[in-house]
């Protein structure tokens, strides 16, 4: 079943939901449904390290003389990188994280890390240990078998004593074995951080298709359950971008497993795929703009201009052919692709009169503004003619996509120049169908700017879509509970705006840029999405489905720890360690070679670079805590029993 065939029926059923979510022109707000918060403490991450390049710091640092750490993508559990630890000569050598920087005395915490050995390494055992400044070594986990075949989770409970600092570290029984670590977290517990009942599906509560950016890692385990329940459209976060389609020898790939995984999910679940992206200045191989000798094509050469146009056309055609060959013609029952961002981020951030307000990309430098025309013409030819199913009428909606449209609509603003460009395209007969808005917001933005941005395009005969949505708090992590409530109210107004826009003219879709906070490229700016790392709806989710957002957090008591970790006299069974210091090593970690920063510019919401920022990952399953670990808290069993099960 194709979602496109059922939208109108569902929209009819949900007209009441639209009215309940929207703010009427008279200024009246329809009452929302109240939701109770849990009386039991809930887990939240005070430190989470998946060792991706946009993480602002690397809190896990080398422990022991000669130990080195580096990020690598050769072996990883999270989608992009892990931390490789080598140079060990003692069992207690490894990596460590400060106790004092992340933990408060007397408070209960869960500590989790995933460990794996390099290929060909003999099995050994690993454990998490707290090296306290009072000279005590607290065994957080027992020695656990680790090997080179699979990732093994180390997880245990720890509560720092009063007046004690030190570090928590990972050690191995084999004193010289190197190892990988990934998805390391310290989890605390607090009250009122979000609603317990997240059983209302987003796709049932909202009148338009609800999308999410995913990777293949999202399509498994609890993250898949969350996806299945709440979303009916997916965008491949990175793996339909230009560079994802080419081998190192510049040949077009025979297999794109990540893109296939997204298409497979949609095909099997009656969902939709929104493709991203065909023509972009970023994540496009340089060789596409170069002669064989590495010199760049020139706008002064008509032969070079013709060559670049042909390369663009070939790329777009090859993408369409690949997806058609595997999934059937576009518009058929077997092919779930319904839209594509044809060109992405072509408007300059500043007025740039020398380029007519456009980004001075390689595409623009060689072909001028007409490269945008060409891209839409070639995309329309490939997706809606050459590889379209017989009888299918324009099956793939073709979008232009842009960020920072929420910061003003006058002629000199980015939105004003965006509108002017689209007017020129329409006047030239370019086959463009839709306007995309990347709403990479900040909690301190003027929320009404988002409605103004969408209203600015109401005069055009095009559909609109929110293509990339997230709202970090700009506080870093962890985010306090009151700020999460404020974020919920911000999202509440956003979804009112989307309902208002949909009532004027159907929204094509609204897409969250990531499934859970810990998988977001903006996680370290402060919990930007609707679901937390434990797959639970936040106040932002409550806002989306029409629940009431309270003014202040509900109070509850975090109980004292009910069990004490085992104290050991020595740092390990096979080696003696020097006296512990009160803080971990200050050595920092290098970013991966070639990794681009995802640090946003203050006051502006950037476009995701280098894959939407390396943190635009699922990461969802990475912080899930086993039930046994939650025995640290009285009443925790009840908390986890109340979690949604699919």
- Please identify every residue annotated as catalytic: 345, 468
Cβ pair 407, 437 in contact under 8 A? no
Q: CA-based angle 424:425:427, to the nearest 5?
A: 65
The secondary element (H helix, E strand) that includes residue 327 is: helix 302-327
SS3 category, 465: strand
As given in the structure block, the two tokens for residue 571 are 């740092």
The secondary element (H helix, E strand) that includes residue 376 is: helix 370-381
In whole angstroms, give the CA distance from residue 40 to residue 635. 7
In whole angstroms, give the CA distance from residue 53 to residue 614. 6
Closest CA to 180 of 155, 158, 150: 150
Q: Is the peptide bond before 478 cis (omega within 30 degrees of 0)?
A: yes
Quote the crossing angle between the two packed helices 257-269 and 302-327, to the nearest 10°.
50
| H helices present in 470-549, as ranges | 481-504, 523-526, 539-544
Q: What is the dihedral of CA 528, 530, 531, 537, to 10 degrees?
A: 140
Tell which phi-psi region holds residue 357, choosing left (phi > 0), alpha (psi between -120 and 50) or beta.
left
Cβ pair 465, 436 in contact under 8 A? yes
Q: Is the peptide bond before 182 cis (omega within 30 degrees of 0)?
A: no
193's CB contacts (< 8 A; 6+ apart) are 37, 42, 44, 481, 484, 532, 538, 553
In whole angstroms, give the CA distance from residue 600 to residue 440. 10
Q: Evaluate the CA torsion angle 493, 498, 502, 505 in order and state its sign.
A: positive
């Amino acid at each position: 079943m194709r979602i496109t065939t059922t939208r109108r029926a569902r929209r009819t059923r949900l007209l009441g939901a639209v009215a309940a979510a929207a703010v009427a022109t008279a200024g009246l707000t329809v009452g929302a449904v109240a939701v109770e918060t849990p009386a039991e403490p809930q887990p939240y991450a005070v430190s989470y390290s998946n060792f991706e390049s946009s993480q602002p710091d690397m809190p896990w640092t080398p422990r022991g003389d000669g130990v080195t750490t580096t990020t690598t993508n050769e072996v990883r559990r999270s989608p992009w990188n892990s931390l490789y630890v080598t140079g060990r000569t003692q069992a207690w050598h490894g990596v460590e994280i400060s106790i004092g920087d992340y933990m408060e005395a007397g408070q209960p915490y869960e500590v989790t890390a995933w460990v794996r050995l390099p290929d060909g390494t003999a099995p050994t055992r690993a454990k998490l240990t707290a090296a306290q400044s009072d000279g005590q070594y607290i065994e957080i986990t027992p020695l656990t078998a680790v090997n080179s075949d699979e990732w093994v989770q180390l997880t245990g409970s720890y509560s720092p004593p009063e007046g004690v600092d030190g570090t928590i570290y990972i050690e191995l029984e084999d004193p010289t074995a190197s190892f990988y670590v990934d998805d390391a977290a310290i989890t605390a517990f607090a009250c009122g951080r979000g609603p317990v009942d997240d059983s209302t599906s987003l796709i049932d509560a909202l009148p338009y298709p609800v999308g999410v950016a995913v990777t293949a890692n999202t399509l498994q385990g609890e993250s898949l359950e969350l996806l299945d329940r709440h979303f009916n459209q997916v965008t491949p976060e990175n793996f339909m971008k230009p560079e994802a389609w080419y081998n190192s020898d510049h040949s077009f790939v025979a297999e794109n497993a990540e893109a296939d995984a997204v298409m497979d999910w949609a095909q099997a679940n009656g969902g939709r795929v929104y493709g991203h992206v065909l023509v972009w200045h970023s994540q496009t191989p340089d060789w596409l703009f170069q002669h064989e000798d590495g010199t760049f094509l020139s706008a002064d050469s008509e032969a070079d201009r013709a060559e670049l146009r042909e390369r663009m056309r070939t790329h777009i055609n090859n993408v369409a052919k690949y997806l058609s060959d595997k999934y059937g013609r576009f518009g058929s029952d077997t092919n779930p692709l319904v839209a594509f961002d044809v060109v992405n981020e072509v408007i300059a951030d500043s007025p740039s009169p020398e380029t007519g307000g456009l980004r001075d990309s390689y595409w623009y430098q060689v072909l001028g503004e007409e490269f945008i025309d060409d891209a839409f013409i070639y995309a329309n030819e490939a997706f809606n003619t050459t590889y379209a199913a017989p009888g299918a009428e324009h099956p793939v909606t073709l979008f232009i996509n842009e960020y920072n449209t929420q910061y003003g609509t006058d002629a000199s603003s980015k939105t004003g120049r965006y509108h002017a460009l689209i007017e020129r395209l329409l006047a030239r007969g370019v086959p463009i169908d839709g306007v995309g808005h990347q709403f990479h917001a900040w909690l301190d933005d003027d929320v009404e700017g988002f409605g103004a941005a969408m209203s600015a395009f109401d005069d055009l005969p095009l559909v609109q879509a929110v293509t990339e949505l997230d709202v970090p708090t700009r506080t870093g992590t962890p985010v306090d509970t009151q700020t999460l409530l404020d974020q919920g109210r911000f999202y509440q107004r956003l979804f009112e705006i989307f309902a208002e826009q949909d009532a004027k003219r159907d929204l094509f879709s609204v897409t969250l840029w990531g499934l859970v906070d810990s998988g977001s490229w903006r996680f370290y700016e402060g919990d930007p999405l609707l679901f937390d790392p434990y797959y639970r709806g936040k106040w932002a989710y409550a806002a989306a489905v029409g629940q009431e957002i309270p003014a202040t957090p509900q109070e509850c008591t975090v109980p004292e720890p009910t069990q004490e970790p085992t104290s050991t006299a020595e740092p390990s069974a096979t080696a003696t360690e020097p006296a512990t210091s009160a803080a971990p090593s200050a050595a920092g970690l290098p970013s991966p070679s070639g990794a681009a920063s995802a640090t946003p510019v203050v006051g502006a919401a950037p476009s995701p670079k280098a894959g939407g920022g390396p943190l635009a990952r699922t990461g969802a399953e990475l912080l899930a805590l086993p039930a046994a670990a939650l025995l640290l808290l009285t009443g925790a069993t009840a908390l986890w029993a109340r979690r949604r099960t699919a």
